[in-house]
Amino acid sequence: MKSETIKLQIGDATIKLPASTVVQLALASIIGQIAPVQIPAPSLPAGVPEVGQPWPGQGGINGGLVAARGDVPEHYLIIAAKDIGDHAWGGYREESKTTSKTDGKANTERLCNEETEHPAANACAEHQADGHHDFYLPAAAELYHCWVNCPEVFTQDRYYWSSSQRSAYDAFLMDFADGNQYDDGKANELRVRPVRRLFI
């Protein structure tokens, strides 16, 4: 006995399907609307603390996963457990090549190798915790990443320097109270918080 078919025509295309298949598709659609499929939220890999929580042995707090960009692979951003004081950015009236808004590590390496003193970057590069000595002054986008993920671990009433220069006179800063980024004179002393990368 030949099974019953249903012919569907959309424009010039014609599709013939067994009636039982059409019924199954209709039921699946109705059930999907009544009880939508629950997709579980992605879970953290084993041993990875929640964002904003201390990461034992890594020198600070889990700042969240950062997507790969350019030559930098995907990594977790580790935020130092505490601020390391107020420091001037340095190099007022001098152009620097530290214009990256995403790569604070490269910016910090450049600042530390320039003849002009850059106290904020130097303080971050000298920071050590849990045996790690690879901290740096975060770039503007890295500070914004921190604000998106865990602003509560930063002081809300102080501005934080980024390693991203805006001009010979100014560099970008982060306001963790409202998530805005501004620029300020490089000679001014602002709060500093080192970060490091954890590649997995």
pLDDT in tens, 136-177: 999 999 999 999 999 999 999 999 999 999 999 999 999 999
Name the residue among 119, 127, 73, 69 with its Cα closest to residue 92: 119
- In sequence order, what are the beta bridge partners of 172? 183
Burial pattern 130-168, b for ≥16 Cβ within 10 A else e, equals eebeebbbbbbbbbbbbbebbbebbeeebbbbbbbbbee
This prediction has a pTM of 0.78
pLDDT in tens, 23-74: 776 666 676 666 655 555 556 677 899 999 999 999 999 999 999 999 999 9
DSSP string, 30-88: HHHHHSPPPPPPPPPPTTPPPTTSEETTTTEEEEEEE--BTTB--EEEEEESS---EEE
Can you read off the two tokens belonging to residue 132? 């790690």
Residue-level pLDDT at 200: 85
107-133: average pLDDT: 97
Q: Is 98 helix (H, G, I), strand (E, B) or coil?
A: coil
pLDDT of residue 1 exceeding 70 = no
* Percent of the chain clearing pLDDT 70 (strictly above): 86
Give the list of residues 6+ apart from residue 141 with CB closer than 8 angstroms, or none.
Answer: 101, 102, 164
95-100: average pLDDT: 94
